[in-house]
Structure 1
Amino acid sequence: MSSQLPFAHLRVLELASVLAGPQVGQFFAELGAEVLKVESPAGDVTRTWKTSAETSATTDAPATGDASVSAYFAASNWGKQSTVLDLTTPAGQARLHQLAAHADIILTSYKPGDAEKLRADYATLSAENPRLIYGHLTGYGPDNARAGYDAVLQAEAGFMYLNAAGPGQPPQKMPVAMVDLLAAHQLKEGLLTALFQRERTGRGTLVQVSLLESALSALANQAATYLVTGHDPQPLGSGHPSIVPYGTVYQAADGQRLVLAVGTDGQFRQLCFALARSAWSIDADYQTNSARVAHRAELEQLLTQRIAEVSGTKLLAELERRAVPAGAVRSVGEALAQPSAQPMLLPGAGGLRLGLRTVAFRSPQWPAAAALSAPPTLTTAGDAGFSEPLSADDATTAGLPCVPPL
């Protein structure tokens, strides 16, 4: 890993499993950190979460290497080593303490009270390593022992209700574990803040993130609507509660499905010109966004009918020329095949065809990691540890304490 990467001298011990915590682990790995994943003898449960394409004997899907590496597991575990520890045993706990003494960050996703039973809690581990930063993910906060699951949190935080096709329609969860991903971002922000604070104080800290609070914080304008007006936002399918036309799916004459994201009155005028319906732009019912929201149903019907008469491919090109936000509805495969998506793909390794980066930002001060090691298989997850520590001179330069070898 290039020493130019910002976390090249950072050591991360990952005790978390499933998605949120491992996403944070891969984030640090992509930016140069040494990430050691600690798994139970059974392994991270997502190793067994396989799609029918992975398990079907007749599938023509690409091989995913070792049987212990599912596509789901591969989504969050590139660039890591793995070691198997039974933390219910004194020997497993002793090894964990040895590793934690040399770590900068620990990632955990234990239910409240479970880490203490395994002697893997912040108070115990930080007593031996005061610089330790301990990230703890829970479902409902440190005082609620209820386990957190993404689909349940999507339901309880209002996302499934709002994601229905319309009022009175069945609620639907999102097709990715959105609450887990939101919690991962919250935890990254907390850990980065803790690293900044450690530079000033020399001491680590406990960072706690719950799935519930992460989900609620992401309700954004939908929550503000309720808090400001007292009216509960209603589901609108893929439409937007306060902007029209925005998000609705239309189908053109050539079968192309597309969405519009018209946020200004000027963009709406350009849309009308592109559709050869300039009269709509001066109609009092549609001239302003507030009028379009009030006459949503009528305008959506007009747009649906007109777009069905034209070529979607040509319309998208014309809208781009006129700077009107619009896009084609693509499958996941089509999205990842776009030229603009290629920087987000990791070169294949370990029997995996390709991987997906978690880091979506760049800086001229450091390159993106050109490649990462493949997600570790459970069969090769032996008694791994951190690499040899920095020399005293290097550690001083990096601003890190020099620690003895493991």
Structure 2
Amino acid sequence: MRDVSEKQAADDKVAVVIVAAGRGARAGQANGPKQYQQIGGGAVIARTLDAFLTHPKIGAVVVAIHAEDDALFRRAAGANADRVVAVTGGTSRQESVRLGLLALRSHAPGRVLIHDAARPFVDAELIDRTIAAIGERQGALPALPVADTLKRETAEGMIGETVSRAGLHAAQTPQGFPFWPILAAHEKAHHLGKADFTDDAAIAEWAHIPVKIVPGSPDNVKLTWARDIAMADQRLSSAPRFPDIRTGNGYDVHAFEPGDHVTLCGVAIPHDRKLSGHSDADVGLHALTDALLATCGAGDIGTHFPPSDPQWKGAASRIFVEHAVKLVRARGGRIANADITLICEAPRVGPHREAMTEALSAMLRISRDRISIKATTNEKLGFVGREEGIAAIATASVVFPGDVPE
């Protein structure tokens, strides 16, 4: 079992344990365990993972899978398989959760959500409500009031009594808890041999951890039977959808200082001055790096390459672009196009446009016809017009896997 790295488990983020080790026999085994069956053109677990990995408050994600499902999981999760920690689950849901929590122990955040992989329709609002209700010694349970009349059955299969539904709720996941108390509760239950808890709120109740009920979602259904899988597939297949295309923009500016050339879009251009900066001060590539990072919510260039770090002094800016490209591709993104506008009075960009396009094609690993490099003056206005420096604006469009509901 691997522990989550410190980089994955930032203190201000909420960790997640997704339970996916079950066999799902009630859903039928013809197409494999239910969490790997197809709905709307993708695996159930892929939709579940995407709901958490795209949420801004979520940090480390651990998935508890069956010992025989590693290849199945990686195929279903796609690029997201490398963004989570997969651990071998146990023979019961309770044991799988405990093992998932243990994987977070070394660098645990303050809060953790525990979710069933077979609930692929969890949404950001439900995640937000659950997170908001977690306290230092308080858990949170999304639930819906029971609407149906309840009957208790006798041993003979007859109605024994009508059960009052006042105050009764149907529990959902994700269930949220302060990390250390819920881990301690699971460990205590394990050591005492108590293995009959059906959810984590029940363990919290047993361990005297108060749990607040928050409004659940009627859409957040658990797929249990083959019919559930079929209905989920029909629901997604009939829903209007549009591609997940994201656009990011970036802006950068650098001042001139004494020198004999400037570097723009990866090309050295002879000039009577150079641009001042901690790296090679390539404004075009700096703006493009920020645009690419924006498409996957990965911060900006200063987050990854702080100017205070001496290792980046004089560094070629293609390093920054290639790092951003790697992050985009790790999330399954395909760069559709890149557009850069250089704003300067001098030097002339036109004679070097082809070389710049070739350099960007290699960095981005896209064809030249998907790259646009333009130049304009500032009509002698402002610092650019006074030839004190050069500015750049960049836009990047990236296509990410999966469709987004309309």
Give the shorter-chain TM-score range: under 0.3
Bigger fraction of residues in strand: 2
**TM-score of the pair, normalised by structure 1:** 0.27
Bigger fraction of residues in helix: 1
Larger Rg: 2
